[in-house]
Structure formats: C-alpha cells, structure tokens
Chains A and B, each alone.
Chain A
C-alpha cells in the first residue's frame, strides 16, 4: 500500500510569487491535514480537510489556503510569498481524522529567496 505522497520534494521561489503543493493520501483515507515546520516555530497546524470540506483551520494568514478533491488528494497554496514562509510543509492523512493515527508524507521543503 502506497504511503502519503507529497510533491514536489523541494521548491525554490522568490518573494511575491505563489506556490502550490500537492499531497496524495493513503488509499481509503479521507482526512488530510497540513503542517508547517520551521526551526523557530516548530510544527504548526495549518488546516484539515475531510470529504472536500475544510474542517479545521490553524492560525495562519489568509495567504495560506487549501482544497481537497473528490479523490481525497489535497493541495495547499501560498500566495504572495514572504521570506518567513520558508519551511518544511508536511501533509498527513487518516481515515476519519478522529483521534486516529496520522500518517505523514516526507514533506515539501520550500525556500523563499
């Protein structure tokens, strides 16, 4: 069974650009959540999607957005990139998202220059 797949693995952008990251969950998993990991702030929750609906959202500005498709694949978008957006972005999936084990992907390392 394939694990959680995130693409691309690495990304370099410049300030002001926008970026889209992709996450394919484990087959049968309907919940997808996103986390940002930085050395300073650690791991922070961005948002969670379940059956194409955003179910929960962390404390991030509106420049961070996401969506989920009918096949449970999810994308997150960051507009007007800032230097502080440089981070590892991790995606995690689970069947229902209720206290279950989360399975993480290997992340997308975003560098903003």
Chain B
C-alpha cells in the first residue's frame, strides 16, 4: 500500500522569504500523480500544484515550485516570496494512475505553515 509522509508538523517563515516543505512517499508503482494541497482556516482544500510522475521536469505555479526526485521518492514544495496569505495547512498527496483507484488520494498528515510579518 502507498504511504505519504510529511516529517514537519509545523514550519515558520518570514514574510518575503523562501520556505521548503518536505514530503516523501512509498510506492511500487511507476505511474502516478503527486499533489500539494493548501487548507486555510476556511477548511476548503485548494490545489497548489500537481506533478505527473512520468514527467521529469519539476512543476511550477507562480511562487510555488516542487523538487520531484522519483528515485528517492521525494516531493518537496518550495514557496518563494512568502506572503501572509500562504499561512495554512499544507498536505502532500499521492494518486495512482492504475485502474480502479483513480479517485483515491492518499494524504500525508500535513504541515502547518506560519508566516511572520
């Protein structure tokens, strides 16, 4: 069974600085997707970034980028120029691309990010 581990329960960053959130996963599959979701106090899960395992190029979305190391099964999120609105819980998630389980996201326990003004 696949697992997702986020080893940092809490992180803090100064406004305008850069922070990296860590995520590792375990799988025997070669075709899958990885995601970072943000959950602010409003509770709605918001997709931050998505990475397809067969793409070697790291995904980027404005100030958000990932470092995807497939062999090491590592998927970290880098937030540049941190803003107060980035403060939230961040969840790393895995999703297989094989039949029967496409709808199933496996989440890590989350990292609570605080942004200091």
Contacts and interface: CB of A to CB of B under 8 A. Distances in A.
Contact of B101 (A35, A56, A109): A56
Given A42-B109, A99-B33, A107 B43 contact: yes
Given A42-B110, A101-B50, A90 B104 contact: no
A104 B43 CA distance: 10
Nearest to A9: B43
A98 B102 CA distance: 5
Contacts of A99: 33, 52, 95, 97, 102
Nearest to B6: A42
Nearest to B104: A45
Interface residues of B, number: 25
Given A42-B109, A99-B52, A99-B95, A56 B45 contact: no
A86 interface: no
B109 to A, nearest CB: 5
Contacts of A35: 105
Nearest to B106: A45
A63 to B, nearest CB: 20
Nearest to B45: A104
A87 to B, nearest CB: 12
A98 to B, nearest CB: 5
Contacts of A24: none
B103 A50 contact: yes
Contacts of B46: 104
B47 to A, nearest CB: 5
Contacts of A98: 97, 102
Contact of A102 (B43, B47, B108, B110): B47
Contact of B44 (A33, A43, A44, A104): A104
Contacts of A50: 103
18 contacts: A31-B103, A33-B105, A45-B105, A45-B106, A48-B103, A48-B104, A55-B100, A56-B104, A90-B43, A97-B103, A98-B102, A99-B33, A99-B97, A101-B47, A101-B50, A104-B37, A106-B43, A106-B44
Sorted from nearest, which 6 A-B pairs have the closest CB atoms?
A48-B103, A104-B45, A43-B107, A106-B44, A33-B103, A97-B103
